Amino acid sequence: MTIAAVLWVVAGVIAFAAVLLVLARLIKGPTLIDRLIASDVMLTTLILVVGAEMVISGHTRTIPLMVVLAATAVLGSIAVARFVSRAGADASADPGGDHDRG
């Protein structure tokens, strides 16, 4: 094995450990916000892995996939955050829970 191949394996093992930890937080929660953050990290990790795969396999075919994921990753977070925010504002007992003065 070349030095580069050894480094690839090391990177892969580290990334796998990271994904397991993120998955643990995704399952455990405890709040919806925690899961939202965890899924965000998962998606960014996916983008990283797609990029790493290109380096390892020596091609550039999945660059459009990376671009699209990077551009749209934010939408899911915003949609859920917006939903949580409104549900929370309705459910919360205190009237000061929402103070958007835009």
Q: Does 15 bind another protein (CB under 8 A)?
A: yes
Min dist. Cβ of residue 43 to another protein (A):
10
* Calculated CA dihedral for residues 85, 40, 21, 57, nearest 10 degrees: 170
Site for another protein in 59-78 (CB under 8 A): 60, 63, 66-67, 70-71, 73-74, 77-78
Q: Under a CB-based contact definition with an 8 Å cutoff, are residues 57 and 16 in contact?
A: no
Q: Locate 41 and state its tokens.
A: 């990290």
Q: Does 41 bind another protein (CB under 8 A)?
A: yes
Q: Does 51 bind another protein (CB under 8 A)?
A: yes
Burial bucket for residue 80 (CB in 10 Å: 0-12, 13-18, 19+): middle
Q: Under a CB-based contact definition with an 8 Å cutoff, are residues 1 and 49 in contact?
A: no
Q: Does 45 bind another protein (CB under 8 A)?
A: yes
What Rg, from alpha-carbon coordinates, does the chain have? 19
Residues that bind another protein (CB under 8 A): 2-5, 7-8, 10-12, 14-15, 17-19, 21-22, 24-25, 30-34, 36-38, 40-41, 44-45, 47-48, 51-52, 54-56, 58, 60, 63, 66-67, 70-71, 73-74, 77-78, 81-92, 95-102
